[in-house]
């Protein structure tokens, strides 16, 4: 009962915090007349990464079409492509499809944008519960520390900035975490293997619709399931090998979803493996600013010969690894130094939690693959975004390894003090992003444009008293200033975190 | 829904035993021969044997010893060390092997096979395990950079061979210091290494230092060490002394190899002036550059795993003083390359870390192959952790590494350097023209400028006049018509400056020669035919 209350408390607190920082405004964009520049920053549509999926959601609901009309294409630009004089968004349509029911609900209450974004917050909330559950049940970490891992992921990392938005990262993280949990249940439960295997394949199939690169994050999970399907036993003079065929049979779910996506590509882009990303981009800003016909021809030619070859290469790894780990504009450990403890957690967990070796290898592999792939990616920065948004699934993984390390060193008070300091610092940076803006230039662009980069940019927005928060702008602006709003949130998170951290930690149930 | 299989434990054990039984030096020789032939055939039919500019130069240096207007050992020159070229001589004698580069493939291929055998033997000596040693060999022999370089006339495989031979016998000596036969053999192969590439000089130096360290703390330190050190040094450093003597006698400067205008040091100065020598007097940059270059040559995942192997290796042998000496010798290539980068004696450009603002981002990356032997030893060392998980994970890493190559994530970086890096031999239109139009007669050309590829034209080496044919070369600058029927020059090369750049000689040139080929940078002249 106590545990249930604790989880409920976490969910309620998190809902409030996400609610306080959700970005948006009232009204139904495109259907109603909105007296503001939709793309202004800070705001819900400051990034084309949010405008494009929203435009598609609108198009799907209102026009019943994956193609965008000119107005929506201009709105979503430059994340739009053009194929046979028809406009599409550059991303897979998964997020927009998932957002449709929320859009419909919101539209009925004249809050289409707000409710659509809030719908995505559901996945962020699920992720907090999943982080807790994996920590508690898979790795048998005590309740207080498991709750602390959820708090780290939710409010001491930059995942917060993307929790109430149309970015795909929280949904991807949701499917990765549920799949890991399902793979563990597949291994440990005898009667329900069908369900768990089906869910893993379903998640993989859905991920194809959400974000192509995220598919590789499932590799260790599929591997885990496959290994759990093989049993080797020595009986007398023979080795008996048992191969469970459930993963093979249920893979039809993934094949169906992937095939359906292929059909989507075929209908819209002329071939099952023709992706929207490979079609020429429709960039209104570029078109308006470039007057040189010759240059436009060159751009058009380059756009027509795009290929996925070389999107990730070894040559780019070292630069990308630096950017994603410690760089001041994007580094995950620069924005959330609490996660540094997770590195120690990974190393120590292999020595201490020997009974869960396969689970540890699988779970840490999600992080390794995530960072390996995006370090090798041509654009490791993820454009103008607050923190390393591509590493949001890793932030969930690292949050758990952080508390594993805290549990291993639970008798050392210094460890907790260090963790407290790092947690508060990380939460301060995460809160700064959540209350201001998600579009922050990477250093390489900021230097060129003579802007500030990373959270230094957000600090400037903060000092100027600008917030993207709907709740603050609508209800609190006249009563408290942004500093007070920010301080209240940060103090609340810090107190909650410290309470969880300093409660006496019980022993893990299963020993090592 | 499941499938049940049953395997007799006996037959499985039998299978494992059969595999173990068949691991022998013979099987290693056979596998390496097969791999060598397959890869050489592949690169031959893709016309990639002589992609490096240096590859052709090695072939030509050796060829001139037997076929030149002034043939002889003096044609070996004084910059590149002589042994790899001497090894090429019997093969380049045959025009087909010279022109195709297969002469170099034979030398490098044999070096590859010997290297494979001695890598196996080193690993076996350190682990006393046939399977681990075999895995070490497999990782080495399947490395695409090794397979490419062993197909070419480049000198890296020759050095690796002598490095491994010397190292093997030196390790045997470390563990059995009473047996001076090992020391003498190690010194002999050290001598060979020191005449193959300059890395070999560091090898013998560090081996000598290791002898001193080996006896430190012993009661009769000096008495025991002195004899061994002198015995080793007499032979091992002989190559260094001979080379200095050679440069003095033939070229008039004992340090011609570093002082000459053709030396690596002089070339690096050009990069320095352009601000493109990032590791010069910057130890962190030097370490970083060679680390990344080693990683890229060894294979991204294999290299990272070998770092874990190094940690485990050190942990297992923490208290063994001798093992540190073994590691020191195995890591000599790392020390050498970092030192030369730091001192500005060499340069590496690698796209992973070289700034895009540099004119070139790919050059000399092949220096990293020298780390492949130690990487394979450390990678396979992890198999000493006898658990199914370890076997499985290492096998997976090996497969994934190949997938990275296959999907284009990782380049075969030595091949990339030879085909699109600065090491690539430029192929000018003039070369094709000359190939179609050359009939007969001597050709005056600045070979250092690599204006045209001699092996790819039909010109016999005996008909080439270059700087090494001193009498012909020098006289041609006063009387171009005296020997040459053809003159090939590239803007600002020695022939251009010496003939075309001097008005009175230029007028003589036009008196006796017709300009038969013109491009913005290359001119070809042919002597006016007299009837």
pLDDT in tens, A438-482: 989 999 899 998 899 999 999 999 999 999 899 999 999 889 999
Cross-strand bridge partners of residue A23: A469
Whether A511 maps to a domain, the answer reads no
Q: How many domains does chain A have?
A: 1
What are the tens digits of pLDDT across the range B169-213? 999 999 998 889 999 999 999 999 999 999 999 999 999 999 999
pLDDT for the residue numbered A34: 67
Q: Which chain B residues are Cβ-neighbours of A315 within 8 angstroms?
A: 351-352, 411
How many angstroms separate the CA atoms of A485 and A490, rounded?
9
Is the predicted pLDDT of residue A427 greater than 90, yes or no? yes
Alpha-carbon gap, residue B180 to A406, rounded angstroms? 56
Q: Is the pLDDT of residue A510 over 70?
A: no
Compute the distance between CA of residue B213 and CA of residue B230 in angstroms, rounded to an integer.
15
Indicate if the pLDDT at residue A271 is higher than 60: yes
Peptide bond into A42 cis (omega under 30): yes
B1/A313 Cβ within 8 A: no
Alpha-carbon distance B328 to nearest alpha carbon in chain A (angstroms): 27
Spell out the alpha helix ranges (H) of A59-111.
Answer: 70-76, 94-108
Residues B2, A309: C-beta atoms closer than 8 Å:
no
Residues 6+ apart with CB under 8 A from B250: B74, B78
Going by pLDDT thresholds of 50, 70 and 90, the confidence category of residue B431 is very high
> Are residues B483 and B476 in contact, defined by beta-carbon separation less than 8 angstroms?
yes
pLDDT in tens, A276-295: 888 888 887 777 777 777 77
A511 has a pLDDT exceeding 50: no
Q: State if pTM tops 0.80.
A: yes
Q: Give the pLDDT band (50/70/90) at residue A235.
A: confident
> CB-side exposure of A110: number of CA atoms within 13 Å?
5
Q: Is A356 exposed, middle or buried (0-12, 13-18, 19+ CB in 10 A)?
A: buried
CA pair distance B397, B203, nearest whole angstrom: 31
- For chain A, the farthest-separated pair of C-alpha atoms sits apart, in whole angstroms, at 82
Q: Do B5 and A317 touch (CB under 8 A)?
A: no
Q: Both tokens of residue B168? A: 């093997």
Cis peptide before A78 (omega within 30 of 0): yes
Best of B409, B412, B416, B417 to disrupt the A interface by mutation (most A CBs within 10 Å)? B409
Specify the pLDDT at position B531: 61
Using a CB–CB cutoff of 8 Å, tell me whether A319 touches chain B.
Answer: yes
> Mean pLDDT over residues B313-337, rounded?
95
Quote the CA–CA distance of B144 and B43 in Å, as a whole number. 11
Chain B: give the shortest CA distance to residue A242, in Å.
Answer: 5
Per-residue CA distances from B317 to A505, B132, B331 (Å): 39, 17, 17
The residue ranges of DSSP E strands in A415-504, in sequence order, are none
Interface size A-B, in CB pairs within 8 Å, comes to: 63
User: What would you measure as the largest C-alpha separation in chain B, in angstroms?
Assistant: 94
Domain boundaries, chain B: 261-425, 429-527
Indicate whether A189 belongs to any domain: yes
pLDDT digits (tens, 9 = 90+) for B264-278: 888 888 899 999 999
**Cβ contacts (< 8 Å) between A314 and chain B: which residues?**
296, 300, 352, 404, 409-411
Q: For chain A, say whether B300 makes contact (Cβ under 8 Å).
A: yes
Chain B residues whose beta carbon lies within 8 Å of the beta carbon of residue A238: 6-9
Q: Residue A128: which of A98, A148, A142, A144 has the closest Cα? A: A148
Q: What is the DSSP letter of A222?
A: H
B304 touches chain A (CB under 8 A): no
SS3 content of chain A, % helix, strand, coil (to 5): 65, 5, 25
ipTM at complex level: 0.86
What local confidence, expressed as pLDDT, does residue A325 receive? Answer: 96
Range of the domain at A200: 2-502
SS3 of A334-398: the string is: HHCHHHHHHHHHHHHHHHHCHHHHHHHHHHHHHHHHHHHHHHCECCCCCCCCCCCHHHHHHHHHH
Question: How is residue A473 written in tokens?
Answer: 């702008």
What 8-state DSSP symbol labels residue A281? Answer: B
Helix (H, G, I), strand (E, B) or coil at A200: helix
Which helix (H) or strand (E) segment holds residue B490: the answer is strand B484-490
Looking up tokens 């190292």 gives B167
Interface test with A, best of B5, B16, B350, B358 (most A CBs within 10 A): B5
Structure tokens at A417: 């003090």
Does the beta-carbon distance from B409 to A376 stay under 8 Å?
yes
Chain A residues inside the 8 Å CB shell of B7: 238-239, 241
pLDDT of residue A35: 65
Can you tell me the mean pLDDT for A40-64?
89
Q: Among candidates B366, B397, B392, which has minimal Cα distance to B379?
A: B397
Tell me if B330 sits within 8 A of B447, measured CB to CB.
Answer: no
Q: Is B351 on the interface with A (CB under 8 A)?
A: yes
Q: How far is A220 from chain B (nearest CA, A)?
A: 12
Mean pLDDT check: name the lowest of A277-291, B155-169, B283-297, B497-511: A277-291
Contact residues on chain A for B296, CB-CB shorter than 8 A: 314
DSSP 3-state of B26: helix
Residue whose pair of structure tokens reads 């974000």 in the numeric block? A211
Listed in sequence order, the residues at least 6 apart from A44 whose beta carbon sits closer than 8 Å to its beta carbon are: A23, A24, A25, A50, A113, A117, A165, A468
Residue B411, pLDDT > 90, answer yes
| Nearest residue of chain A to residue B11 (CA atoms) | A238
Q: Which of B6, B352, B389 sits opposite A318 (nearest CB)?
A: B352
- Which pLDDT tens digit goes with each residue over A485-509? 999 999 999 999 999 999 876 655 5
Residue of B nearest to A240 (CA): B6
The per-residue pLDDT for range B439-455, each reduced to its tens digit, is: 999 999 998 888 899 99
Two tokens, residue A95: 């997020």
Whether A242 has its CB under 8 Å from any CB of chain B: the answer is yes
Residue B310's pLDDT is 97
Q: Is A351 on the interface with B (CB under 8 A)?
A: no
Residue A346 has pLDDT above 90, yes or no: yes
Does the distance separating the beta carbons of B389 and A318 come in below 8 Å? Answer: no
Q: Tens digit of pLDDT for each residue in B104-147?
A: 999 999 999 999 999 999 999 999 999 999 999 999 999 999 99
Which residue is closest to B3 within chain A, CA to CA?
A243
The whole-angstrom distance between B284's CA and the closest CA on chain A is 15
Is B477 at the interface with chain A, CB within 8 A?
A: no
Instruction: Specify the DSSP element, H or E, that contains A231.
Output: strand A230-235
Q: Return the higher-pLDDT residue of B223 and B294.
A: B294
pLDDT at B87: 97
A residues 199-238 closer than 8 Å to B (CB): 234, 237-238
Q: Give A245 to chain B, closest Cα distance, Å.
A: 5
Cβ-based neighbours of A400, under 8 Å, separated by 6 or more: A131, A134, A135, A139, A141, A149, A342, A363
Q: Helices (H), strands (E): how many in chain A?
A: 22, 4
pLDDT tens for each residue of A134-186: 999 999 999 999 999 999 999 999 999 999 888 999 999 999 999 999 999 99
- Assess whether pLDDT exceeds 80 at residue A109: yes
Contacts of B5 in chain A (CB under 8 A): 240-243
Poorest-pLDDT segment among A125-129, A232-236, A260-264, A362-366: A232-236
Mean pLDDT for chain A?
A: 91
As a whole number, mean pLDDT of residues A363-384 equals: 94
pLDDT band at B5 (very low <50, low <70, confident <90, very high): confident
Identify whether A94 is part of a domain.
Answer: yes
What 8-state DSSP symbol labels residue B448?
A: G
Handedness of CA B507, B513, B516, B519 (dihedral sign): negative
Q: Hey, of A314, A323, A358, A369, which one would you mutate to test binding to chain B, going by the most B CBs within 10 A of its CB?
A: A314
- Quote the percentage of chain B above a pLDDT of 90: 83
Confidence of residue A311 (pLDDT cuts 50, 70, 90): confident
Q: How far apart are the C-alpha atoms of A510 and A130, rounded to whole Å?
A: 20
Pairing between β-strand B442-445 and β-strand B484-490 as defined by DSSP bridges = parallel
């Amino acid at each position: 009962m106590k545990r249930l209350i604790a989880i409920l408390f976490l969910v309620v607190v998190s809902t409030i915090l996400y609610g306080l920082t959700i970005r948006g405004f009232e009204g139904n964009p495109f259907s109603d007349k909105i007296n503001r520049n939709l793309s202004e920053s800070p705001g819900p549509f400051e990034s084309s990464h949010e405008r494009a999926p929203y435009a598609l959601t609108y198009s799907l609901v209102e026009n019943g079409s994956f193609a965008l009309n000119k107005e929506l294409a201009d709105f979503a630009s430059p994340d739009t492509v053009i194929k046979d004089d028809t406009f599409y968004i550059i991303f897979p349509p998964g997020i927009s499809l998932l957002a449709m029911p929320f859009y419909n609900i919101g539209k009925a209450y004249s809050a289409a944008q707000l409710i659509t974004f809030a719908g995505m917050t559901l996945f962020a909330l699920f992720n907090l519960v999943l982080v807790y559950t994996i920590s508690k049940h898979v790795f048998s970490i005590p309740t207080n520390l498991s709750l602390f891992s959820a708090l780290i992921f939710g409010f001491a990392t930059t995942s917060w900035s993307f929790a109430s938005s149309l970015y795909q990262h929280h949904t991807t993280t949701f499917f990765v975490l549920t799949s890991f949990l399902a793979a563990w249940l597949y291994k440990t439960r005898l009667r329900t293997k069908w369900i768990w295997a089906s869910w893993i394949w379903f998640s993989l199939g859905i991920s194809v619709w959400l974000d192509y690169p995220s598919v590789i994050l499932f590799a260790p999970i599929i591997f885990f399931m496959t290994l759990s399907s093989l049993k080797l036993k020595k009986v007398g003079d023979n080795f008996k090998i048992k191969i469970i065929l459930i993963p093979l049979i249920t893979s039809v779910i993934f094949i169906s979803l992937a095939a359906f996506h292929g059909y989507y590509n075929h209908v819209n882009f002329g071939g099952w493996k023709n992706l929207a990303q490979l079609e020429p981009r429709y960039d209104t800003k570029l078109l308006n600013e470039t007057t040189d016909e010759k240059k436009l021809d060159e751009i058009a030619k380059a756009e027509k010969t795009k290929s996925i070859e070389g999107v990730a290469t070894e040559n780019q790894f070292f630069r990308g690894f630096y950017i994603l780990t410690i760089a001041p504009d994007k580094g995950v450990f620069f924005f959330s130094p609490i996660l540094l403890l997770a590195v120690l957690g990974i190393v120590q967990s292999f020595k201490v939690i020997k009974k869960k070796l396969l689970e540890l290898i699988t779970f840490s592999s999600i992080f390794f693959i995530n960072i390996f792939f995006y370090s090798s990616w041509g654009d490791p920065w993820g454009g103008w975004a607050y923190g390393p948004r591509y590493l949001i699934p890793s932030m969930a993984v690292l949050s758990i390894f952080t508390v594993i390390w805290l549990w291993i060193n639970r008798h050392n008070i210094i460890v907790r003090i260090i963790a407290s300091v790092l947690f508060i610092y990380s939460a301060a940076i995460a809160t700064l992003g959540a209350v201001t803006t998600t579009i922050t230039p990477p250093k390489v662009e900021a230097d060129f444009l003579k802007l500030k980069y990373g959270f230094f940019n957000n600090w400037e927005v903060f000092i100027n008293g600008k917030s993207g928060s709907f709740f603050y702008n609508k209800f609190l602006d006249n009563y408290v200033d942004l500093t007070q709003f920010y301080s209240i949130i940060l103090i609340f998170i810090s107190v909650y975190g410290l309470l969880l951290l300093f409660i006496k930690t019980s022993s893990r149930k299963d020993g090592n | 829904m499941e499938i049940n299989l049953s395997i007799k434990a006996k037959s499985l054990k039998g299978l494992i035993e059969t595999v173990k039984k068949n691991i022998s030096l013979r099987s290693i020789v056979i596998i390496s021969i097969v791999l060598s032939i397959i890869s050489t055939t592949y690169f031959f039919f893709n016309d990639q044997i002589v992609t490096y500019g240096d590859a052709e130069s090695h072939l030509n240096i050796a060829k001139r010893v037997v076929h030149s207007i002034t043939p002889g050992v003096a044609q070996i020159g004084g910059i590149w060390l002589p042994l790899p070229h001497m090894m090429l001589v019997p093969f380049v004698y045959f025009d087909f092997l010279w022109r195709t580069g297969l002469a170099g493939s034979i030398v490098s291929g044999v070096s590859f096979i010997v290297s494979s055998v001695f890598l196996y033997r080193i690993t076996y000596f350190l682990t006393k395990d046939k399977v681990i040693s075999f895995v070490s060999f497999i990782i080495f022999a399947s490395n695409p950079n090794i397979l490419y370089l062993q197909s070419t006339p480049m000198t890296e495989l020759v050095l690796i061979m002598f490095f491994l031979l010397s190292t093997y016998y030196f390790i045997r000596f470390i563990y059995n210091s009473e047996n001076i036969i090992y020391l003498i053999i190690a010194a002999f192969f050290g001598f060979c290494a020191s005449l193959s590439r300059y890395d070999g000089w560091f090898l013998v130096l560090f081996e000598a230092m290791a002898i001193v360290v080996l006896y430190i703390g012993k009661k009769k330190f000096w008495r025991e060490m002195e004899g061994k050190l002198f015995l080793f040094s007499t032979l091992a450093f002989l190559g260094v002394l001979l080379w200095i003597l050679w440069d003095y006698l033939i070229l008039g400067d004992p340090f011609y190899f570093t002082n000459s205008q053709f030396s690596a040091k002089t070339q690096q100065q050009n990069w320095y002036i352009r601000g493109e020598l990032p590791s010069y007097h910057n130890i962190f940059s030097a370490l970083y550059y060679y680390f990344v270059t080693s990683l890229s040559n060894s294979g991204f995942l294999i290299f990272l795993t070998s770092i874990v192997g190094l940690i485990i290796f050190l942990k297992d042998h923490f208290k063994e003083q001798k093992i540190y000496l073994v590691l020191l010798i195995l890591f000599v290539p790392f020390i050498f390359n970092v030192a030369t980068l730091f001192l500005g004696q060499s340069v590496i450009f690698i796209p992973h870390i070289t700034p895009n603002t540099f004119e070139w981002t790919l050059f000399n990356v092949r220096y990293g192959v020298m780390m492949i032997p130690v990487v394979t030893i450390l990678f396979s060392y992890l198999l000493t952790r006898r658990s199914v998980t370890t076997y499985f994970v290492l096998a997976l890493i090996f497969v994934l590494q190949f997938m990275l190559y296959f999907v284009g994530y990782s380049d075969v970086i030595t091949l990339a350097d030879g085909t699109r890096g600065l090491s690539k031999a430029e192929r000018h239109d003039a070369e094709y023209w000359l190939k179609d139009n050359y009939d007969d007669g001597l050709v005056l050309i600045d070979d250092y400028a690599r204006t045209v590829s001699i092996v790819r034209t039909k010109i016999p080496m005996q008909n080439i006049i270059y700087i090494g044919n001193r009498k012909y070369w020098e006289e041609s600058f006063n009387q171009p018509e005296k020997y040459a029927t053809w003159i090939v020059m590239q803007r600002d090369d020695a022939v251009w400056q010496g003939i075309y750049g001097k008005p009175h000689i230029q007028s003589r040139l036009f008196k006796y020669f017709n300009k038969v080929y013109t491009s913005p940078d290359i001119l070809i002249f042919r002597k006016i035919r007299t009837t």
